[in-house]
Structure 1
């Protein structure tokens, strides 16, 4: 079986899911070719697992200081290039096209009448789940940005809807939590501002990952550019995670039973809805504003949150795909 797998690469969460599912697809004997879009080729890192992958421009958004800049997003879009990439992508050699909210593979499969499965967190928003700042535009994006013949949503809870648990890319490892170690990943914030927020909290050791950061020690703050292996190590050994409200990192933190505080990317309906769901499910905390006082209050809080343990969704999906990705077979999966 040969599969074309499209991955939206604007953030690292989709890539993390591809790492998890890709390993199990390979174990099932499935040949997978990867296509990534939404990020310049020179901004990818630790991609050896994906072999000779393709990179396309696709569509992305521009952020500034924790907010989406819609004007710059529109000005930097390249719709003609997107349309050309969709028309030129040949799906004829593949038995199935998978898309994790990646538009080029999704629309190429649709135009060529190729079997396709779309899966990811965004497809959960096609169902009745907690949503914040929903609009006709956001609903249209979730429905038409990267459609598939089958669409599988992922979320932290099923909300009595046909939704699967998260796919988490976590290898077996000792989950030993240092009560003073805090992982910080706020890629949409000004990293120097983040450092200023953390600087007075000297009773904690912060492990800060972010774009543009160089590896180095600033007292009790360890800075590093995004990477995979060391990031996963620090995630296992921290006691708390401070991040934006992206889906995948929060899913991994929940699986490891870490304390969580999120600040949603303002103007991004998905992240704002994630923050709402996280608090409604009593799995973590959210804030609209970050500063030293907010972070300190969270770290010293004694609020207890619900715990979750998710099954190996990547393994089950890989087996389902290898068996033909039958819709009836998916409905029979008991994952909650």
Structure 2
């Protein structure tokens, strides 16, 4: 099958999960052409698996100091460029468009009446799952940023809906996992300023914090260890840590739950997806949330034990089988099968 696959380049979660599905689809013999939008080509890291791929401007959501800025999001929106990219996109022979929250391929599928499939966490919100109140604009953007005809939504729990488990990197299924180091904490708060994170973590010197974010080079400052982005280094630290402090995105919390790490989420203010994720995390009893960089909440969380691993099934295998079947109306059957192999659910 000839597939056009669109990836939202903003944040590493979309790239991480799409990397695995693109690999699986190509292994299954499909011809997959990839578009990445929302981030400049020179800012993309570890995307070799997608080659050959094209980069387009698309649209992205803008935030400042841990808070969504809808005004700046609208200011940076180049609608003329978006429409031009859609018009110039070659879809000849395309039998299916898959979009991981990429508006360019989503719009091209609608304009040209090509079957489309949404892949990712955002597409779970079309079903009955925990949803934060938010504002009308935030909900509209979530549901209409990159819509599709069929949806392979992902979540940490099925909520008795036709959605799939998170996509976990293959290396995190290996039996020879690293020994967990008690008191080692992985910190990934990309929407926060490093100075603010430093102030939050400095008093807790009995713990070792490995902080990934806006730093130019790796450096150690006592119990604070600042790291530039490296997928392999990040996964090594994730395997070794006993807890994760991160924004309330989807991919990293899913990996942490898979491995049995305790979780403290800081949702991006005004971003309804992250606020809903924090709500779901607490409702499920899987972790804690803080709505600002709160030292008192961090202190309580640091004393908690680790949790039992959830050990999610390899969801891309079930999703790729569903895609390849051509029977896309049979989504519930494939979604249910993806959870049945997981005794934790």
Fold in common (TM above 0.5): yes
Aligned residues: 334
Q: Which runs of 4+ in 1 moved over 3 A?
A: 304-307
Give the structure 2 partner of residue 23 of structure 1: 23
Matching of residue 232 in structure 1 with residue 235 in structure 2: yes
Give the structure 1 partner of residue 207 of structure 2: 204
CA contact (8 A) 1:155 1:163 kept: yes
CA deviations over 1:48-76 (Å, ceiling 9, x no partner): 21112111111112211111122222111
3-state DSSP class of the match of 1:208? Answer: strand
Among candidates 309, 318, 323, match of residue 321 of structure 1: 323
Matching of residue 311 in structure 1 with residue 316 in structure 2: no
- Once residues 227 and 96 of structure 2 are traced to their aligned partners in structure 1, the CA distance between those partners, rounded to angstroms, is 38
Superposed displacement of residue 101, structure 1: 1.1
Q: Which runs of 5+ in 2 are unaligned?
A: 340-345
Q: Which runs of 5+ in 1 are unaligned?
A: none
1:184-203 counterparts in 2 under 5 A? Answer: 184-203=187-206
Give the structure 2 partner of residue 219 of structure 1: 222
Superposed displacement of residue 307, structure 1: 4.8
Superposed displacement of residue 305, structure 1: 5.2
CA contact (8 A) 1:185 1:243 kept: yes
Give the structure 2 partner of residue 37 of structure 1: 37
Superposed displacement of residue 294, structure 1: 2.8
Give the structure 2 partner of residue 47 of structure 1: 47
Give the structure 1 partner of residue 163 of structure 2: 163
- Once residues 193 and 136 of structure 1 are traced to their aligned partners in structure 2, the CA distance between those partners, rounded to angstroms, is 30
Give the structure 1 partner of residue 342 of structure 2: none
Among candidates 269, 272, 279, match of residue 275 of structure 2: 272
- Once residues 113 and 230 of structure 2 are traced to their aligned partners in structure 1, the CA distance between those partners, rounded to angstroms, is 37
Superposed displacement of residue 135, structure 1: 3.8
1:274-289 counterparts in 2 under 5 A? Answer: 274-289=277-292
- Once residues 225 and 77 of structure 1 are traced to their aligned partners in structure 2, the CA distance between those partners, rounded to angstroms, is 29
Give the structure 2 partner of residue 137 of structure 1: 137
Give the structure 2 partner of residue 85 of structure 1: 85
Matching of residue 151 in structure 1 with residue 169 in structure 2: no
CA contact (8 A) 1:175 1:237 kept: yes
